[in-house]
């Protein structure tokens, strides 16, 4: 029987993934195992999704005599890793972000080797990726920025991390899929909640396009890719492209007039805190492989999921 093994199931996309699995459980009949460092901290997931009959296992228990064994019917989805937006992006922080992801990948690799079995598919999903900006109308999974062309130290570093992460993931034993995640929108997304508490900003020159998708569509895309057994690299981005100005006007306190500003403030701020650089990307990323395989976005206009 098909089994989904989810690392990082308590995060925004992880919970959207569990919600989608629960809604379609009568069709898939798949079992679900959630991997975590602290089983007690995520024990609430079992009560939240009773139809899934969740099994919650620590990484340490993977290697015990009574621990779960990897099978050819397993689809491993790795969402684990420290939050990119949680702290200021220094060189040390960038290293932590990479290590937090590599450590989990290596643990899962060792588990498969320990059990002498590869899964049906290993999916590594992360927002750490960089696409080429030379032609924003044609950005898809085939375009990444060579390190020497990346615009600025911040993006060069983030790109190098993404390359290292994807190279490690693609070396996983058996079929592997790397998923490049966008900025994820949901009423409960930390980014949305933080910006909703602030006055709205009208970035007068904010014409740059950002990759966006709803948490639900990210979860649906992961499961679709798993069912199609896609491998290699895919990107997720809602078909209706959104620029920075439109995004920020859609967030913030709606009853307060928007404050005019210029993106130069973000550019200067990104020198001190690389997180602001996430809002300076300019890419109309197309989810080419997903769309070609027949995936349909539930929220083609990702902003539609935001509270109004």
Question: What pLDDT does residue 155 have?
Answer: 44
Q: Does residue 275 form part of some domain?
A: no
Nearest to 306 by CA among 220, 196, 200: 196
Q: Which two tokens stand for residue 95?
A: 């290293």
Question: What pLDDT does residue 143 have?
Answer: 52
Q: Does residue 144 form part of some domain?
A: yes
Q: How far apart are CA 66 and CA 40, in angstroms?
A: 19
Q: Does residue 244 form part of some domain?
A: no
Torsion of CA 114, 117, 119, 124, to 10 degrees: 30
Residue 256, burial from CB neighbour count under 10 angstroms (0-12, 13-18, 19+): exposed
Q: How far apart are CA 105 and CA 240, in angstroms?
A: 33
Whether pTM exceeds 0.75: yes
Domain span at residue 96 reads 3-185+212-239+285-302
Question: What pLDDT does residue 167 have?
Answer: 87
Torsion of CA 87, 93, 59, 126, to 10 degrees: 80
Q: Does residue 252 form part of some domain?
A: no
Long-range pairs for 39-45: beta carbons < 8 A, 24 or more residues apart: 41/10, 42/9, 42/10, 45/9, 45/10, 45/15, 45/18
Provide the number of structural domains found in the chain. 1
User: The CATH number of the domain where 232 resides is what?
Assistant: 3.40.50.720
Q: Does residue 205 form part of some domain?
A: no
Q: Does residue 196 form part of some domain?
A: no
Q: Which two tokens stand for residue 61?
A: 């228990």
Q: Does residue 265 form part of some domain?
A: no
Instruction: List per-residue pLDDT tens for the chain, 308 residues long.
Output: 899 999 999 899 999 999 999 998 766 678 999 999 999 989 999 999 998 989 999 999 999 989 999 999 999 999 998 887 777 777 788 888 888 999 999 999 999 999 999 999 999 998 866 555 555 565 666 655 444 444 444 445 666 777 788 889 999 999 999 999 998 999 888 777 776 666 665 555 567 788 899 999 999 999 999 999 999 999 999 999 998 878 877 875 554 555 555 454 555 445 455 566 666 677 788 899 999 999 999 999 999 998 76
Q: Does residue 50 form part of some domain?
A: yes
């Amino acid at each position: 029987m098909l089994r989904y093994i989810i690392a990082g199931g308590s995060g925004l996309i992880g919970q959207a993934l569990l919600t989608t699995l629960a809604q379609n459980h009568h069709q898939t009949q798949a079992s679900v195992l959630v991997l975590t460092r602290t089983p007690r901290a995520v024990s609430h997931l079992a009560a939240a999704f009773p139809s899934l009959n969740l099994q919650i296992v620590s990484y340490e228990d993977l290697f015990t005599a009574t621990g779960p064994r990897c099978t050819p019917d397993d689809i491993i989805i790795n969402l684990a890793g420290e939050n990119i937006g949680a702290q200021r992006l220094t060189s040390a922080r960038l290293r932590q972000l990479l290590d937090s992801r590599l450590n989990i990948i290596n643990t899962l690799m060792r588990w498969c080797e320990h059990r002498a079995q590869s899964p049906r598919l290993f999916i590594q999903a992360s927002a750490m990726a960089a696409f080429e900006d030379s032609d924003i109308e044609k950005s898809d999974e085939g375009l990444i920025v060579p390190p020497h062309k990346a615009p600025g130290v911040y993006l060069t570093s983030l790109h190098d991390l993404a390359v290292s992460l994807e190279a490690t993931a693609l070396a996983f034993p058996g079929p592997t899929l790397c998923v490049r995640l966008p900025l994820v929108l949901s009423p409960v997304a930390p980014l949305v909640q933080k910006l909703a508490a602030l006055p709205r900003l009208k970035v007068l020159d904010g014409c740059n396009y950002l990759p966006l998708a709803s948490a639900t569509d990210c979860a649906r895309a992961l499961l679709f890719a798993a069912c199609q057994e896609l491998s290699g690299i895919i990107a997720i981005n809602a078909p209706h492209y959104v620029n920075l100005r439109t995004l920020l006007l859609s967030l913030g306190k709606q009853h307060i007039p928007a404050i005019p500003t210029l993106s130069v403030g973000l550019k200067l701020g990104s020198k001190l805190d690389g997180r602001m650089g996430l809002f300076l990307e300019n890419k109309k990323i197309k989810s080419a492989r997903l769309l070609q395989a027949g995936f349909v976005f539930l929220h083609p206009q990702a902003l539609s999921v935001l509270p109004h």
